[in-house]
Structure 1
Amino acid sequence: MKNTKPKSKKKKILFIILSIVVTLIIAGDWILTVMVYNENFNQRFESYEPLMLYVDDFDGLHRTKYEFSSNGGQKLAGYMYSSGENQRGIVVMAHGFGGGGHNSYMDCVNYFACHGYYVFSYDATGNDESEGEGVGGLPQGVIDLDYAITFVEESGKFPSLPIVLFGHSWGGYSVCSVLTYHPEVKAVIACSGFNASPNLFEAEGKKQVGNGIYLMLPFVKLHERIQYGGYASNTALDGFSKSNAAVMIVHSFDDEVVPAEYGYEIYYEKYKDDSRFSFIPLENKGHNYFNDDTYRNEFNAKFDEWLKTLDYDYNTEENRERFSEDKANYIYQNLDREKWCNSLDLELFEDFVGFYDEHIH
């Protein structure tokens, strides 16, 4: 009879070695994924001062600043905007990702405020005047919005009026997903949004590494789940199913930041025959389509001409600080603030207000 013990022992050793190798590979992929995730999403974002919008840029616009706490005790800066009287409801607005807080949406704020609505807008965690070393991750947007709505409803500082939501990009995802926690919301307008938090990581990752991004997505989901619990797995579709709110979905089909397949197409497939939902498909409008780009294109063309007049290479590290100062001075001296601050697509925003008016009762 042959002795099989040596072979059996070798198999056990081989199995242990393979297990260790696989574990190290998985751990390495997880660590790499978290590093990439944090590099892209766990950053602090500040609005670019030379292009910031101010209350004084808009006739009759007023605001009061408030502070409220989010999930980790971090203080968020929120503002209640108004213009005129006889407001019919409160628009709670969630801003997009990467450009700072709500400042770049103040022309949108002004339009709603001038057309019968209070507007409560805030800087999410890690943005502008709110606390936080970084955003943390995309589910943080849903969390901050959840706390913002609760603050508006329960602080006793605001009138008891119907609440509607407005969000763009990251904010578009947030205003839909948060319906799970606030089914009392009357109506939602989501522009350029996505269904689930990993979608933005996937969309950008496919540009960089192709299908290799799908090896990282399980670790993204696990990382977010550990950080944010149920908020991480909650999707826009979950929010829709938990609410009776009227929903308007707006998306341009040439959007390269959030392709329509991650939001609009998912929602349309499921809800195209549901009277709760209104869909506005756009063409050749890109990711940001709130403004008429006539003046912006004109300004950018003149800026490009100015770049050619510089007597130094503004792309080099040694000239970075100098160029930053020269660029800011150029903008301060040449930007027509009246045109810059008043270029909204009025037809689109008229549709937005009409949608709210129809559903706040």
Structure 2
Amino acid sequence: MAKSKKGKAVIAGVAAVSAASILTVRGIFHKVFARQEKEDDAISLRYKDMSGMVRKKITIVSGSTHLTGYLYGEASAKGLVVVCHGIAGGGEDNLSMVKYMLDDGYQVFTFDYTGVYESEGASSVGFYQAVKDLNAVLGYIEASASLKNLPVFLYGHSWGGYTAAAVLNFKHNIAGVITISGFSSPMAITKEAAGRIIPTLLVDLLLPFAALYQRIVFGKNYNLSAIDGINSCDVPVLVMHGKEDEVISYEGSSIIAQRSHITNPNVEYYTETRPGKSNHMGIFFTKGGTAYYLAKKEELKMLHDLYYNRVPEKVLSKWFARLDKKQANDMDPLFVKTVLDFLDKNCK
């Protein structure tokens, strides 16, 4: 009888810990993937900053959610580049690079994931949601009379870098993929990110519950692998990553760290090693642009902290009036050339 009571107590304890763990994981995911609203004023370039740039608004249905996308540029015989954004941002945050693509003769399609900027959704749900959304976008393109015959390229950074590679698991007709600072799988980046803020023992305790939670939300594809996507085809892929990336570790959760497991013969690699340029955002910009961007980002954060996230409009407007957006978004010539050369080489 005593043993029976002890056994029941152990089971009850395990059940309580499990329930607390899954609720903790759920709370973390809700916070990380909270709805992201677009700010008209931002350090990144906005459409209103881009003189002469033409775009057309397009609505795409992903599951039951209406996504907002924009098709930039006139009809092109060269190809279409679909841009996949990173976390804490949206499609419009990539306009500095979009301009170079347009100038090189491509049309460009940007879109906001579920729960981001102009798209519907109470939250962005989780990492795999972006793959589902991109899959819907590609379905739209393949059904479009004006777009379906164009060579289609995918370009993504960070979360978008993962998304652009992972969607290859779905066998779309893709001409090439550029994945920048991307992670190899949702669980790989979840473990790495958690390890930066909580003790290893706690990470090991919560990780199975993080996997369970995502599986409940997304089903069997919750941990869809970017490496499996790349290896599932012979699509040309350019993998780019900074050696000192502080968000997605070069030797850790990154796609490039898995190069020994990549069997697709048409994959090439670009490692950014220049000091002051090899971090998560620096891979895009000149050294001076990177320093200015990061300084202004920190300055803006301090301003919001000072006013407890309620900065008076007059104060905020004055700060943005002094911001040099051109300097903050000064693209690195080598990065731009590498991207455009890859597009042009694989544009059939």
* TM-score (ref. length: structure 1): 0.86
Partner of 1:294: 288
1:165-184 aligned at under 5 Å gives the runs 165-184=154-173
* Structure 2 partner of 1:133: 122
Q: Supply the distance in 1 between the matched residues of 2:300 and 2:168 (Cα, whole angstroms).
A: 47
**Aligned mate of 1:30, from 14, 22, 25:** 22
1:11 aligns with 3
The letter for the 1-side match of 2:134 is L
Q: Which residue of 2 aligns with 1:228?
A: 218
Is 1:244 paired with 2:234?
A: yes
Q: Distance in 1 between matches of 2:154 and 2:184?
A: 16
Q: How many residue pairs end up in the alignment? A: 341
Q: Which residue of structure 1 aligns with residue 31 of structure 2?
A: 39
TM-superposition CA deviations, 1:221-273 (whole Å, max 9, x none): 111111112331211012112222111111112111111211244332223x8
Write out per-residue CA displacement over residues 36-58 of structure 1, whole angstroms, 9 at most, x where no aligned residue.
Answer: 222222x0112332225334533
Query: Of the candidates 262, 265, 288, which is equivalent to residue 253 of structure 2?
Result: 262
- Match for residue 123 of structure 1 among 112, 117, 128: 112
Partner of 1:331: 319
One-letter code aligned to 1:163: V
Write the deviation string for residues 286-331 of structure 1: whole angstroms up to 9, x where unpaired: 10121225256458768999999xxxx97455x653x343442223
Alignment of 1:114 onto 2:107 = no
On the 8 A contact 1:70/1:143 being kept in 2, the answer is yes
Query: Could you tell me how far apart the structure 2 residues matched to 1:303 and 1:168 are?
Result: 18
How far off its partner does 1:123 sit?
Answer: 0.7
In 2, the alpha carbon distance for the partners of 1:278 and 1:306 equals 37
The residue aligned with 1:4 is none
Higher mean Cα deviation, 151-160 or 254-263? 151-160
Shift of 1:359: 2.0
Deviation at 1:77, TM superposition (A): 0.5
Q: Deviations over 1:189-214 (max 9, x none)?
A: 10010011123322221111131212
1:31 CA displacement: 1.6
Q: Does the alignment pair 1:355 with 2:345?
A: no
For 1:19 and 1:143, locate their aligned partners in 2 and report how far apart those are by CA, in whole Å: 38
Task: Return closer, same or farther for 1:30/1:81 CA change in 2, 3 Å cut-off.
Answer: same
Structure 2 distance, partners of 1:300, 1:177, is 29
Match of 1:74, as an amino acid? T
Gaps of 5+ in 2: none
Per-residue CA shift, 1:153-186, capped at 9, x if unaligned? 1133535111110000000010111000134212
Aligned pair in 2 of structure 1 residues 278, 305: CA closer, same or farther (>3 Å)? Answer: closer
Task: Note if contact 2:289-2:328 (Cα within 8 Å) is conserved in structure 1.
Answer: yes
Aligned residues of 2:79 and 2:152 also touching (Cα < 8 A): yes
Percent of residue pairs bearing the same amino acid type: 26
Bigger Cα Rg: 1
**Equivalent pair of 2:231/2:264 in contact (CA under 8 Å):** no
SS, match of residue 197 in structure 2: helix
1:144, distance to aligned residue in structure 2 (A): 0.7
CA displacement, residues 26-81 of structure 1 (integer Å, 9 cap, x when unaligned): 2221221211222222x01123322253345335421100001112x111101111
Q: Compute the RMSD of aligned alpha carbons.
A: 2.7
* 13-22 vs 323-332, greater mean Cα deviation: 323-332
Aligned-pair distance for 1:88? 0.9
Query: Matches of 1:280 and 1:286 in 2, distance apart?
Result: 14
Instruction: Give the secondary-structure state (helix, strand or coil) at the position aligned to 1:209.
Output: coil
Contact 1:57 1:338 in 2 (8 A): no
Cα gap change, 1:31/1:105 in structure 2, threshold over 3 Å: closer, same or farther?
A: same
User: Structure 1's 303 and 20: CA in aligned 2 closer, same or farther, altered over 3 A?
Assistant: closer
- 1:352–1:32 distance in 2 versus 1, CA, 3 Å: same
Letter of the structure 1 residue corresponding to residue 183 of structure 2: F
Alpha-carbon contact 2:234-2:264 (below 8 Å) kept: no
Normalising by structure 2, we get a TM-score of 0.89
Partners of 1:298 and 1:186 in 2: how far apart? 35
Point out the more displaced range, 132-141 or 238-247. 238-247
